[in-house]
Structure 1
């Protein structure tokens, strides 16, 4: 009986030990599974945060690239975002980041996104300012160009010469070679124009080309291509035929006296009033007339 009692006690102890060991193994397996699930959850959360951080980084890089010209005005904003990026990257690169660290990373990413929005708003504001400045610069440029054009036009106009003491006369050529002024159309051989060019402080020294128009009593222009007649364009854009072209030598701020030009007509002169118009650079600079009987 004693042996059987001992055997039963030992058997019960073995059963107890076996059951205890089995329960401990199950508990350990459950703990390990829970830890693995927790670790997997942290890894998943870390991966999600990293993806969110990468997206934010890409957006920031794109903003900086697209607005490189404005970058100098946004240095403080860029520096703040770079600092946040460094802190977030340090946490997310850890192999075994804790929940507290991931929570910190999440908060930093939220702050980074807020900074990014402020950065975008500042860029939009600067672009608007630049657009306004560009528009103002265009207006100033147009005004400057207009002023320059006006100054050039005024200088060109001021450099136009002026004729004075204009005289148009009919001249009779005698057989002995002498000349005599006449008022009779049938005796006129030459139509002579004499005039002076007043001093001009703007016109540069050099040879100046003048165009003379002699108008017959019927309003037509005396002209002959063989005698040097041609066409001119006036300052108003009109095209006119001229009778004679006359070159003169001009010295700045000095008067030219006694300029003479003769028109030899092949046919007879008609009776009536003849008019003379003198042009320089398309502008009429003097006029006169003579009447032939």
Structure 2
């Protein structure tokens, strides 16, 4: 009876031990499964965080290339991201460390978001400034074109006024005459009889010309290429002008008749040429005549 009772107790103890063993095995299996799941989750989080950090670092490269005003701040924040990435990649992936890295990442991301917003504002301001400068340049360009046009018009007007203010010398004529003892002059076309050449011309009326004294150089060249009269010279740039006489005229914007005489003797037969030059030695009138 006693043996049966002992066997029953032994069996009960074995059952209890068996149950405890099975429970322990199940618990250990559960712990291993949970640990593997935790390691997998932490590894995934680590890899995800590393990829996000790399993406943000690349975004910083783009902003640094585009913005010189915030370059120092952008580079400083990027360096923090790079340092955090190095820590994450070296990490063994424990829960506490990953929590710390995530918090640091979110803090750096907030700083980055602030810089992105500031960068956007600066870009908009640059666009507005560029547009304003373009508009200003257009205005300045238009103003320069207008001024250039005015300058061209003024130069053209000045030239027109200068051209219009020049005095016209008209009706240049030369008569050969024989001077009588009584003072009477008889016109002749005979070289042997002539002893005076009478030169006459008109200075036309011009209301925009300046008034005052005007000088004209008259040059008479005979058929033998001799210059008659005073035969004096004046410089004309790199050359000289030899003239027969100077006619000084007082001009007051009205037509002026000019009459001059050149005495002579033994005039040569042939064609004579007469030229009139202004004070700038510019030819303003010419004619010719013949003595037989």
Q: Which residue pairs with 2:227 in the alignment? A: 222
Task: Output the CA distance in 2 between the equivalents of 1:144 and 1:240.
Answer: 39
Distance change (3 Å), C-alpha of 1:118 and 1:217:
farther
Note the alpha carbon deviations across 1:48-72, whole angstroms, 9 max, x for none: xxxxxxxx99828xxxxxxxxxxxx
Secondary structure of 1:161's counterpart equals coil
Q: Which residue, out of 145, 149, 161, partners 1:155?
A: 161
Deviation at 1:289, TM superposition (A): 2.9
CA contact (8 A) 1:229 1:244 kept: no
Task: Output the CA distance in 1 between the equivalents of 2:249 and 2:208.
Answer: 17
CA contact (8 A) 1:205 1:251 kept: yes
Q: Which residue pairs with 1:271 in the alignment? A: 269
CA contact (8 A) 2:241 2:281 kept: no
Q: Which residue pairs with 2:255 in the alignment? A: 255
User: After TM superposition, what 4+ stretches of structure 1 lie above 6 angstroms from structure 2?
Assistant: 98-103
For the aligned residue pairs, the C-alpha RMSD in angstroms reads: 4.1
Question: Scaled by the length of structure 1, what TM-score is found?
Answer: 0.53
Deviation at 1:222, TM superposition (A): 1.9
Q: Which residue pairs with 2:144 in the alignment? A: 138
Task: Output the CA distance in 2 between the equivalents of 1:197 and 1:160.
Answer: 10
CA contact (8 A) 1:198 1:255 kept: yes
Task: Output the CA distance in 1 between the equivalents of 2:165 and 2:246.
Answer: 19
Gaps of at least 5 residues in structure 1 are: 1-55, 61-97
CA contact (8 A) 1:223 1:241 kept: no
- Aligned residue pairs total 199
CA contact (8 A) 1:164 1:197 kept: yes
CA contact (8 A) 2:215 2:248 kept: yes
Secondary structure of 1:186's counterpart equals coil
Note the alpha carbon deviations across 1:216-266, whole angstroms, 9 max, x for none: 335x47267x54443557xxx9986543332211112x2213x1123345x
Distance change (3 Å), C-alpha of 1:144 and 1:215:
farther
Q: Which residue, out of 195, 212, 223, partners 2:218?
A: 212
**Which structure has the greater CA radius of gyration?**
2
1:110 aligns with 2:111: no
Gaps of at least 5 residues in structure 2 are: 1-65, 71-102
Question: Scaled by the length of structure 2, what TM-score is found?
Answer: 0.53
Secondary structure of 1:194's counterpart equals strand
Distance change (3 Å), C-alpha of 1:214 and 1:142:
farther
Deviation at 1:141, TM superposition (A): 2.7
Task: Output the CA distance in 2 between the equivalents of 1:148 and 1:238.
Answer: 32
Which structure is higher in RCO with an 8 Å CA cutoff and minimum separation 6?
Answer: 1
Note the alpha carbon deviations across 1:142-201, whole angstroms, 9 max, x for none: 322221111111111111112334320123344565543332223333322112222111
Secondary structure of 1:59's counterpart equals coil
CA contact (8 A) 1:231 1:242 kept: no
Q: Which residue pairs with 1:187 in the alignment? A: 193
Task: Output the CA distance in 2 between the equivalents of 1:173 and 1:205.
Answer: 35
Task: Output the CA distance in 2 between the equivalents of 1:132 and 1:242.
Answer: 58
